[in-house]
Each structure stands twice: as structure tokens, then as C-alpha cells.
Amino acid sequence: MKSRVSKQPTTPSTKLHEADSKVNHPAHYQGKYEAIDVIEDACESCPPNEAFSYGNALKYLLRAFKKHHSPVGDLEKAIWYIQRVVRQERRRTKR
């Protein structure tokens, strides 16, 4: 005799929970550590005007091999943000 497992119906609240998970804990940012925690910790000592670009570079590096079949796009974005931080840092330290 086969056992039947009934599938729970999809309700508006389950759809909201699934959407909430995609927003608050997307699969491509999951790992041993939450990406947002790594980024916030790393940017804590950044100059304010460089923190955004530095954080974005980290974001793209952390998800590069998780979100897409090919990491090239995310790696190129990370490089772009890293180069931006380098330019900002060079301007900042010339003073």
C-alpha cells in the first residue's frame, strides 16, 4: 500500500513567507556567514564615501559563484567597484 503525502495548499501567507525569504535571505547570499554581516563588518572601518563601493565589491564577490551559471558578470562588477575605491582612496590620500 502506497503512502500518500498530502501537499499543503499554497496560501497568501505562505506566498508572503516565500517572498520574505527571497528578500531577507536570498539563496545566493547564504553560506557559513550572512553576506550582509560580512559586508557591514568589513565596511565598519571604511571612510564613509568609500563604504558603499567597497560593500558592493564584496557583495558581488560573495555571490559570484552562487547566483549565476557564469560568475564573470559579478566579478566584472566587483572589479569596477574596487577600481572606484582605489580612485577614491588615491584622491583622499593626496591631500
> In the predicted model, is pLDDT for residue 58 greater than 60?
yes
- Of 79, 24, 29, 92, whose CA–CA distance to 53 is shortest? 79
Start-to-end Cα distance in the chain: 80
More confident of the two residues 3 and 47: 47
Model confidence, pTM:
0.66
Q: Using pLDDT thresholds of 50, 70 and 90, give the confidence band for residue 33.
A: confident
Mean pLDDT of the chain: 80
